[in-house]
């Protein structure tokens, strides 16, 4: 959204940075919204000496990196330092272009069949898979797992848990992984510990609604929800349904050509009943469906509602807003995961790894891969929490206070990891969610249709959709 093609939308972009964007954009907070605590840490990181390189490229003297960040945002600063250090230590020149979040569809994908591809690029695994891996644009980075990272004999695979890369969504047609993650996004319910007193994490759905009822009784709205962002609206259903079906289950249902899978499994309707209850019980803040992002999450930050369900970017985004409002009133962020619905057997935790990928036609893959391993070094990767207030896949690195609960959920040994929305948003290049899922899901969340009508509608629409869509 920062590219020139979308310059016309820059106006909105400034106020509406979402998903991957938000994963970090708010993190400019560490300069602006980060508050007094984050700033010295960030400066310490940026001025610290460069760590040693574990794997030195033998032949390559340069490589090209197209970045999903801009140079002046926190992750851009961290990676700028990594680039500077890498060149210092190896003499390899890095030709970096800071292209912003839309680089895959606007830069990388169009370049794939030309000879001017970058050697290295980054974005979340869902988007990379849909835009670049599908047309065969990447090469395996499995060898990077055995690259040394400059911490003695430690290799990449020794420090990044397999749950963050060894997943179907990170594998190409050859069954090999195409990304090495360096940042993690998670999803959670957020609340302000100063506002919600005597909080106890819900163990059942009834507990969750009891929390909502308590908030309402206390004169607050229960849940804030920016209703104009379709995929925010979709999180409720996909979170609950994934717990019945397990990771990848929803995707299987969504690709059933007859659509009958929606009605065949009664759990799909059961999951929708919880969303219906959320809609019809007037738990959502008044006006949630008649505003523009990020107005409603700002109302949560202002203390009008008790809970907010979005990704791990919630603290950095809302903190930035509160800082701009003036005053030093921060929030005391707390978060928790959806409880297990009754009869659900999968303890699903949603994650979205952001990582580096190497193009199939890369001219300098060796240098690019050595750089990936270098970024994983703890003294480089520490910049992600320190400067950008975000999570890394490394367990031993510091975690921003606000994200401790999210990180704990992600590292829960019993957790089954699924991609955000089970990757539904990438089906048929996004057409499936736009045409089939979002309209019905929005109606469900608005209380216009029942859970039963929802699954029946999906079954019918989906059959119609796959008949005409390639």
Partner 1 sequence: MTSTVTAPEADEQHSSASGAHLVRKKRLFFPFFLPAVTLYVLFLVVPTIATVVLGFTSWAGAGDTPRFIGIGNYAELMGSDSFRYAFLNTLLYIVVGGVGTFLLAFLFTMVLRDMRGGKIVRAVLFFPNIVAPVALGMFFGIILIFRPNRQGLVNHLLESVGVDAVKFLAPENVTWVVTACLIWASSGFYITILMAAVDRIPPYLYEDADIAGATPWQKFRNVTLPLTWDVIGVAGVLWTISAIKIFELVFVLAGPGTYSPQIRAWTLGIYVFDRSFGTAGSPQYGMACAAAVVMILLVSVLVVLLRRLMRRDTIQF
Judged by the rule CB under 8 A, the positions of this chain that interact with partner 1 are 1, 5-6, 8-9, 11-13, 15-18, 21, 102, 105-106, 109-114, 126-127, 130-131, 134-135, 226, 228-231, 286-287, 289-293, 295, 299, 425-426, 429-431, 434-435, 438-439, 442, 461, 464-465, 467-470
Rounded to a whole number of angstroms, the minimum distance from the CB of residue 155 to partner 1 is 32
**What are the distances in angstroms from CA 119 to CA 70, 85, 101, 127, 171?**
18, 19, 18, 18, 19
Q: Are strands 348-359 and 120-124 parallel, antiparallel or unpaired?
A: antiparallel
Whether residue 82 contacts residue 48, with contact meaning beta carbons closer than 8 Å, is answered with no
Q: What is the DSSP letter of 357?
A: E
Nearer to partner 1 by Cβ, of 69 and 371: the residue is 69
Rounded to a whole number of angstroms, the minimum distance from the CB of residue 338 to partner 1 is 24
Nearer to partner 1 by Cβ, of 255 and 442: the residue is 442
Nearer to partner 1 by Cβ, of 172 and 383: the residue is 172
Nearer to partner 1 by Cβ, of 286 and 342: the residue is 286
Rounded to a whole number of angstroms, the minimum distance from the CB of residue 395 to partner 1 is 31
Specify burial of residue 61 (Cβ count, 10 A radius: 0-12, 13-18, 19+): exposed
Nearer to partner 1 by Cβ, of 190 and 438: the residue is 438
Rounded to a whole number of angstroms, the minimum distance from the CB of residue 131 to partner 1 is 5
Q: How far apart are CA 300 and CA 172, in angstroms?
A: 40
Nearer to partner 1 by Cβ, of 283 and 371: the residue is 283
Rounded to a whole number of angstroms, the minimum distance from the CB of residue 6 to partner 1 is 8
Give me the sign of the Cα torsion angle 231, 232, 233, 234: positive
Nearer to partner 1 by Cβ, of 52 and 434: the residue is 434
Rounded to a whole number of angstroms, the minimum distance from the CB of residue 420 to partner 1 is 12
Tokens linked to 37: 């605590």
Residue ranges of alpha helices (H) inside 58-182 are: 74-90, 103, 109-111, 125-128, 156-159
For 47: left if phi > 0, alpha if psi spans -120 to 50, otherwise beta; the answer is alpha
Residue ranges of alpha helices (H) inside 132-182 are: 156-159
Rounded to a whole number of angstroms, the minimum distance from the CB of residue 460 to partner 1 is 12
């Amino acid at each position: 959204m920062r590219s020139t093609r979308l310059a016309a939308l820059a106006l909105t972009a400034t106020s509406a940075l979402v998903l991957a964007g938000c994963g970090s954009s708010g993190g400019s907070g560490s300069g602006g919204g980060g508050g007094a605590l984050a700033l010295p840490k960030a400066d310490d990181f940026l001025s610290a000496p460069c760590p040693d390189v574990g794997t030195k490229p033998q032949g390559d003297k340069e490589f090209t990196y197209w970045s999903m960040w801009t140079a002046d945002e926190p992750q851009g600063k961290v990676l700028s330092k990594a680039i500077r250090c890498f060149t210092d230590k190896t003499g390899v020149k890095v030709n970096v272009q800071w292209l912003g979040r839309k680089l895959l569809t606007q830069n990388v994908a169009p370049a794939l069949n030309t000879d001017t591809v970058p050697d290295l690029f980054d974005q979340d695994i869902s988007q990379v898979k849909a835009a670049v891996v599908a047309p065969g644009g990447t090469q395996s980075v499995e060898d990077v797992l055995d690259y040394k990272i400059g911490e003695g004999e430690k290799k990449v695979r020794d420090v990044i848990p397999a749950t963050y890369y060894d997943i179907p969504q990170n594998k190409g047609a050859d069954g090999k992984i195409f990304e090495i993650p360096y940042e993690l996004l998670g999803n959670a319910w957020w609340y302000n510990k100063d506002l919600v007193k005597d909080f106890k994490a819900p163990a059942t759905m009834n507990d969750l609604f009891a929390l909502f009822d308590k908030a309402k009784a206390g004169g607050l709205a229960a849940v804030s929800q920016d209703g104009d962002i379709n995929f925010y609206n979709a999180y409720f259903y996909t979170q609950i349904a994934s717990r019945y079906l397990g990771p990848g289950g929803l995707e299987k249902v969504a690709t059933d050509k007859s659509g009958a899978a929606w009605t065949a499994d009664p759990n799909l309707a059961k999951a929708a009943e919880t969303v219906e209850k959320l809609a019809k019980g007037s738990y959502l803040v008044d006006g949630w469906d008649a505003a523009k992002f990020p107005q409603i999450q700002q109302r949560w930050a202002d203390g009008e509602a008790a809970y907010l369900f979005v990704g791990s970017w919630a603290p950095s985004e809302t903190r930035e807003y509160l800082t701009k409002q003036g005053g030093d009133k921060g929030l005391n962020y707390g978060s928790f995961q959806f409880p297990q619905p009754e009869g659900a057997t999968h303890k699903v935790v949603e994650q979205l790894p952001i990582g580096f990928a190497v193009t199939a036609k890369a001219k300098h893959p060796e240098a690019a891969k050595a750089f990936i391993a270098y970024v994983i070094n703890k003294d480089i990767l520490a910049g992600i929490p320190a400067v950008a207030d975000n999570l890394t896949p490394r367990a031993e690195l510091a975690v921003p206070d606000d994200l401790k609960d999210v990180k704990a959920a992600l590292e829960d040994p019993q957790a089954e990891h699924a991609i955000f929305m089970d990757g539904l948003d990438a089906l048929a290049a996004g057409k499936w969610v736009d045409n089939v899922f979002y309209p019905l899901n929005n109606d469900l969340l608005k209380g216009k249709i029942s859970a039963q009508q929802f699954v029946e509608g999906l079954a019918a629409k989906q059959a119609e959709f796959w008949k005409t869509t390639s």
